[in-house]
Structure 1
Amino acid sequence: MAGIKALVALSFSGAIGLTFLLLGCALEQYGVYWPLFVLIFYVLSPIPYFIAKRISDDTDSASNACRELAYFFTTGIVVSAFGLPIILARAYLIKWGACGLVMAGNAVIFLTILGFFVVFGGGDDFSWEQW
């Protein structure tokens, strides 16, 4: 039952994050859809972790080079997602209010993705077969 509550909470927070992103695009005073390009970063952010988890062996070493490289790439993707709205606002393609809403949406969405990996990433006691 705890897995279902966590899944509902993560779904709700993801919906809130996407609402912030869409408000930054669709409100009448902003009216441009350039900030939707951060959706690409939402899709790309978990990919290095999945690749590293698939390739690396599950030894209990303190540092795994493949895992560290995946963390590095993931950090670059997340920083790029926060940098894109700032660059768009500095280039006067979007307004600063839209930039703030997109940044709030980024924070919520990336915390949701992190929460998903914390809750469901253990793998030992959780199985997707129960869904």
Structure 2
Amino acid sequence: MFYRLLTLAFTSSVGVTLVIIASALPQYKSWFPFLGLIFNLICPIPTIIARRRTDSVGGISSACMESAIFITMGIVVSSFAYPIVLARAGLIMWPASYLTLVGNVIVYLAIIGFYIVFEMEDTDYTMW
């Protein structure tokens, strides 16, 4: 039962570890990829706020929820563009960019997994 939550936590920690490795390895010589974790932290915030707002008003599709999804997608696209722009500008090396991109994919899959697990009605996670 709690294996799903444990698996998602492990998956997100692997993704964050890849981003930290992209920053901390001495051959890459730059901590700029570490700033990409800011995108991972603020990504779910608009959707969480909109879900609270739409739950009190009712209805699934509202202007608030659509705006939150738009902002969230902007954050996700920015988090993938950030390491590519840094690598093209020569501020980081391309392998560090690849590690950051793979870490972002893993973290965002874990975030989607958290949304799926917490939306399921037949588990005990919905009380949180």
Q: TM-score, normalised by structure 1?
A: 0.87
Residue 37 to residue 31, structure 1, CA distance change in 2 (3 Å): same
Match of 1:44 in 2: 42
1:122 to partner: Cα distance: 4.3
Over the aligned positions, Cα root-mean-square deviation in angstroms equals 1.5
Residue 25 to residue 83, structure 1, CA distance change in 2 (3 Å): same
**Alpha-carbon distance in 1 for matches of 2:4, 2:76:** 23
- In the alignment, does 2:107 pair up with 1:109? yes
| SS of 1:7 mapped into structure 2 | helix
1:23 to partner: Cα distance: 1.4
| SS of 1:42 mapped into structure 2 | helix
1:58 to partner: Cα distance: 2.6
> One-letter code of the match for 1:114?
I
- In the alignment, does 2:45 pair up with 1:72? no
The number of residues matched between the two structures is 124
Residue 124 to residue 59, structure 1, CA distance change in 2 (3 Å): farther
Q: TM-score, normalised by structure 2?
A: 0.89
Q: Which runs of 5+ in 2 are unaligned?
A: none
Match of 1:16 in 2: 14
**Alpha-carbon distance in 2 for matches of 1:93, 1:124:** 48
Match of 1:95 in 2: 93
Match of 2:58 in 1: 58
1:119 to partner: Cα distance: 0.4
1:22 to partner: Cα distance: 1.3
> One-letter code of the match for 1:71?
I
**Alpha-carbon distance in 1 for matches of 2:121, 2:33:** 34
Q: Which runs of 5+ in 1 are unaligned?
A: none
2:11·2:110 contact (CA, 8 Å) conserved in 1?
Answer: yes
Structure with greater helix share of residues? 2
Residue 76 to residue 55, structure 1, CA distance change in 2 (3 Å): same
